Amino acid sequence: MNMSEFDDAYDDQQRIRGAILETPISELPLRDPILVCSASTVADAIKNMNDHHTGCVLVEKDGKLVGIFTERDVLTKGFFRTDSHTASVESLMTPNPETLDPEDRIAFALNKMSVGGYRHIPIVDAGKPVGVLSVRDVVDFLVDLFPEDVLNLPPSPNNAITNSIDGG
């Protein structure tokens, strides 16, 4: 019996749903966390973010995770005030951030990111930061589930092929 397009689409949907529900965060290639001391200056934290090409740093005090400092914190919490270069990162960070365990599933991470509006979530193992999950990590995971459909798209959405009857 031949499979229909409906059967194909259903199988793809089930495969993707299963991967999201069953895959633990630990299977993603997470970056090591960039850690700064809570007494570090905001300028030092931003320099670390720029040097490592990342959108956040994790803030620790006495060896414990106490906060996360993100690009959003820079823009929304008064970085441009006059004392910003000498202010401690602790004064502008998001304290007590939501965290995930490496064995939590990607679906759980997506839920937290969506409900909380987070772009980065610290991954902790036994209370110690071991990575940071970013929206980009999740997008890369999704692209890997069906690369032929995503990576074979034309370089421009306004490409003439996509505007034809055959191209969608």
In a domain, 17, yes or no: no
Per-residue pLDDT, 76 = 84
CATH number at residue 102: 3.10.580.10
Domain count of the fold of the chain: 1
pLDDT tens-digit series, residues 81-139: 666 678 899 989 999 999 999 999 999 999 999 999 999 999 999 888 999 999 999 98
Task: State pTM to two decimals.
Answer: 0.77
Q: What are phi and psi of 121, to 5 degrees?
A: -135, 125
Beta bridge partners of 59: 36, 67
Per-residue pLDDT band at 161 (split at 50, 70, 90): low
In a domain, 97, yes or no: yes
DSSP annotation of 31? B
In a domain, 79, yes or no: yes
**Residue 66: is it exposed, middle or buried by C-beta count within 10 angstroms (0-12/13-18/19+)?**
middle
Collapse the DSSP code of 153 into the 3-class scheme (helix H, G, I; strand E, B; otherwise coil) and give the result.
coil
Per-residue pLDDT, 146 = 73
User: Given the structure tokens 């740093």, which residue do they identify?
Assistant: 57
